[in-house]
Amino acid sequence: MINLELPKKIEDTRALLRQFSEGGLRPISRKYDLLEQKEMPQELYELAKLLGGGGNRRAAASDAGSDGGNRNANNMSMVVSSAEICWGDVGLFLALPNVGLGNAAVSAVASEEQKQEWGELFASMAITEPGAGSDSAAIKTTAVLDGDEWVINGEKIFVTDGYRSKQVVVWASLDLKLGKAAIKSFLVPKGTPGMTVTRVEHKLGIRSSDTAQIVFENCRVPKANLLGNPEIAKTAEARKKAFGGVMQTFDNTRPMVAAQALGVARAALDLTYELLGEKGVELDFDKNYHQMSAVENDLYDLEADYETARLLVLKAAWMADNKQPNSKNASMSKAKAGRMGNQVALKCVEICGQLGYSKAHLLEKFARDSKIIDIYEGTQQIQQLIVARQVLGKSSSELK
């Protein structure tokens, strides 16, 4: 039965996380935006414990319910949770050890002994290189087996949490000649000789989250640190399929990143209403077009685009929960939400005038933070490309 309201369990979690965001993240939001320090904000350790391990949160969420064939599970729960924490602060959200981007990859394949050995899980994900961003198949970092160890060489940039994380999941090729299929991921614990954080970026927004450059020089890890299947597919067809499997994990993560934009946009709109409320401007969502002020007209547009993006994200997550192929919808949600989040935040700054532009309020920060969400996890344009290929039935060689 068609229903687009959230089930009570997820709604309850959302309400709790709103309190977490409001009481925990907002009070330190500006402080760490200005400090832009490399070290982990002290307050976050306590807050992270409050939030519980990512695993626990997932377990609690995964039984949000099933009804006949329909399931509202982990994906739905994660997008709603992410949006709510990002309402508090996207930078601090990214800095939470619980949401380390490599965590899922590790917990999915690591053995119990490995988990013991690697300790507290806070894994960053190192994919992007100076010469390869969205085109992740073009990476140049290599891993060569030498006895019982992999020897990794290469350079990674834009690694979210790369400085503060306890482990790094690095993508490297076993054989550059074999293209995509030879790309595997490896877990490298911090402190491993040969892996050095060489730089931490200064950024437009999400300043409380560290973004690092990591260099690998003859960095050696045990053979077992290769995550997943070490075989390279033999035939061209099988190689294509293998990389497809890797990329498929992004079908699940794109809606979660899109959800970050929902959080920032909602935060910007809420604050804008708060500021405008003092001027007596209120939206009643039942107004005649001919009686709206220009500002109201803008705000209605922003709300409508916010709601569109929100529903696209929920649908993509719902499809993932119900094991429906969602590559197109995941990209639609990321394309729409990424663009929307940035447009909404910028427009809110404009609408609130000097108050919007001033550091006395958080709107200017939301506008800076929102930009990255339209870039990482696949830019706006990459998402359009994926959607276009699916809609038009094109291969990547036809529509480049």
List the catalytic residues: 377
C-alpha span between 258 and 78 (Å, rounded): 11
- Cα–Cα distance measured from residue 259 to residue 272, given in angstroms and rounded to the nearest whole number: 20
Q: Is 2 in the site for other proteins (CB under 8 A)?
A: yes
Structure tokens at 97: 């050890």
Least distance from C-beta 349 to other proteins, angstroms? Answer: 22
Nearer to other proteins (CB atom), residue 15 or residue 108: 15
Applying the rule CB under 8 A, the residues between 260 and 319 that interact with other proteins are 285-291, 300-301, 303-305, 307-309, 311-312, 314-315, 318
Q: Which two tokens stand for residue 174?
A: 């076993």
Residues 6 or more apart whose Cβ sits within 8 Å of residue 111: 224
CB 378 within 8 A of CB 331: yes
| Residue 134: CB minimum distance to other proteins, A | 14
Angle between helices 74-88 and 236-277 (to 10 degrees): 40
Ranges within 23-42 binding other proteins (CB under 8 A): none
Residue 245 to residues 143, 184, 229, 248, Cα–Cα distance (Å):
20, 12, 11, 5
CA distance 185 to 368: 32
State the binding string over 57-76 for other proteins (x if CB under 8 A, else -): -------xxxx-xxxx---x
Instruction: In whole angstroms, give the CA distance from residue 306 to residue 332.
Output: 14
- Give the DSSP letter of residue 233: P
Interface with other proteins (CB under 8 A), residue from 335, 348, 352, 363: 335
- Interatomic CA distance for residues 89 and 368, integer angstroms: 12
Total residues binding other proteins (CB under 8 A): 55
**Residue whose CB is less far from other proteins, 148 or 286:** 286
CB of 83 to other proteins, least distance (A): 14
Minimal distance, residue 90 CB to other proteins, in Å: 22
Which residues, in sequence order, are CB contacts of 51 under 8 Å at separation 6+? 20, 57, 96, 98
Minimum distance from residue 286 beta carbon to other proteins (Å): 5
Taking the least distance from each CB to other proteins, the nearer of 81 and 225 is 81
Per CB under 8 A, residues contacting other proteins are: 1-9, 64-67, 69-72, 76, 285-291, 300-301, 303-305, 307-309, 311-312, 314-315, 318, 329, 332, 335-336, 381, 384-385, 387-389, 391-394, 398-400
